[in-house]
Amino acid sequence: MDSLNILMENYQAFEETQIKDRFFKHADLLKILDKLKANSAFNLREAGRSTNGLSINLITWGKGPKRVFLWSQMHGDEATATMSIADLLNFLSEPGQFQQIHDLLIEKCTFYILPMVNPDGAEVFNRRNAMDIDINRDFHRQQSPEGRILSHLRDEIKPHFGFNLHDQSTLWSAGNIGNPATISLLAPAYDEELSINSTREQAMRVIVIMNSAIQKTIPGKVGRFDDEYEPRAFGDNFQAAGTSTILIEAGGFYNDPEKQYIRRIYFKAILSGLISIADESYLKAITKDYFSIPENKKLHFHLLLRNCKLERNGIPYKLDIGLCKEENVTKDARSIKYTYMVTELGDLSAYFGYEEINCEFFNLTQTKKIKIDEPADLIVHDGTNILLTIENGVLTSINIE
Ligand SMILES: [Zn+2]
């Protein structure tokens, strides 16, 4: 795994520069896939069409006996994994000084990669498909063409391993010590009892390897995703069908709204998992270590104002204010406008903020009265210097260490 760390130091050699934020579209992805056509190691085929008729493409690579199926962005606004896959494809195309990793993977594995399962959702940066169906709740009914494609491919490929690639809310924390869950991992359950058979156990073992690889880069910022059986989800059903399925969720990291740092960690998570499948190092992993990954807890705010001094009816009181950035997609679906919403008030001493201000020795002016679930409109200052201004939900100035 040391070579993987060196590889990460040379990441710019693989990073797909055509993608710079989360808002790339189907046409952008096609340009990236086009580059692979000149490389005979890749096989590309259209697996089917989305509700609005956009192609969903399967990339096959490798000549080994271990079949690994990776699919991304079945939720259209969860783009991180597709970015990491673009980088992975570049790595597989031209591994440079990391030929050994490339050779191991190509000899031992065959990868089936289905990026952007929900191109219609990506087009408008929306979770759901063009029928307003959440594809990941459509396993049984299969009303969405996207869900049918995914399901048929699993039946056809019969993969040993599956990588189910998503993004989660940036408000999740890894355990309760103040770190965001930058990456969360899960071996989804295949029944209500959350039983563990050998299929699920293999997934847990691979996750143990992935966790230890990314802990080196983001110590303490890996969480275990909520372990609850969802009978309508693909991961849970693929696990039941005998594909050892690994869920990866991209969460948040400091000052990385477009997830350009996280995409690298996500790439490392995927690649470490793939290497461990290829060299079978996962077989030595202990499932107990899977359960020691701290569970996700929702303890984060985007901005936390601690110890604010307020007054009501002449009575002074102390209040923590938790604010979350609401994301509103712009008309062209190429960017986001943020609105800071007041989401919790009171004693938030057990909670954390990506940004925090201790307002104990400052004044808080409420331009509009602070109300839960409404946009914030306030100024934090010391009489002369302004630390923070939020105007009708829009952050207009921040001046903290
Ligand atoms: Zn998702």
364-379 tens-digit pLDDT: 999 999 999 999 999 9
Residue 390 maps to which CATH number? Answer: 2.30.40.10
**C-beta separation of 66 from 108 below 8 A:** yes
Residues 246 and 389 in one domain: no
Over residues 279-303, mean pLDDT: 98
Residues 393 and 259 in one domain: no
Integer Cα distance of 146 and 50 in angstroms: 6
- 3-state DSSP of 264-307: HHHHHHHHHHHHHHHCCHHHHCCHHHHHCCCEEECCEEEEEEEE
Which candidate, 184, 160, 54, 172, places its Cα nearest to that of 115?
Answer: 54
Q: Could you give the number of structural domains in the chain?
A: 2
Selected residue with higher pLDDT from 384 and 79 = 79
Angle subtended at Cα 360 by Cα 355 and Cα 364, rounded to the nearest 5 degrees: 75
Domain that holds residue 342: 300-398
Contacts of 315 (CB under 8 A, 6+ apart): none
225-263 tens-digit pLDDT: 988 899 999 999 999 999 999 999 999 999 999 999 999
Rounded to the nearest angstrom, the distance between the alpha carbon of 137 and the centre of ligand 1 is 10
Question: Chain-wide mean pLDDT for the chain?
Answer: 97
Q: What are the CA-CA distances from residue 379 to residues 316, 322, 398 (Å)?
A: 18, 15, 10
Rounded to the nearest angstrom, the distance between the alpha carbon of 308 and the centre of ligand 1 is 36
pLDDT of residue 1 exceeding 80, the answer is no
Integer Cα distance of 102 and 314 in angstroms: 70
Over residues 369-395, mean pLDDT: 96
Q: How much is the pLDDT for 105? A: 98
Rounded to the nearest angstrom, the distance between the alpha carbon of 118 and the centre of ligand 1 is 11
Selected residue with higher pLDDT from 1 and 218 = 218
> For the chain, what is the largest distance between any 2 Cα atoms, rounded to a whole number of angstroms?
76
- Write out the residues surrounding ion ligand 1, Cβ under 5 A: 75, 78, 166
Q: How confident is the model at residue 400 (pLDDT cuts 50, 70, 90)?
A: confident
pLDDT of residue 383 exceeding 90, the answer is no
pLDDT of residue 115 exceeding 60, the answer is yes
24-44 tens-digit pLDDT: 999 999 999 999 999 999 999
Residues 29 and 57 in one domain: yes
Which candidate, 266, 300, 271, places its Cα nearest to that of 78?
Answer: 266
Residues 162 and 77 in one domain: yes
Rounded to the nearest angstrom, the distance between the alpha carbon of 306 and the centre of ligand 1 is 32
Residue 28 maps to which CATH number? Answer: 3.40.630.10
Rounded to the nearest angstrom, the distance between the alpha carbon of 142 and the centre of ligand 1 is 17
Rounded to the nearest angstrom, the distance between the alpha carbon of 272 and the centre of ligand 1 is 21
Integer Cα distance of 135 and 111 in angstroms: 23
Domain boundary among 281, 297, 313: 297
81, two tokens: 């994994």
pLDDT of residue 292 exceeding 90, the answer is yes
Residues 165 and 181 in one domain: yes
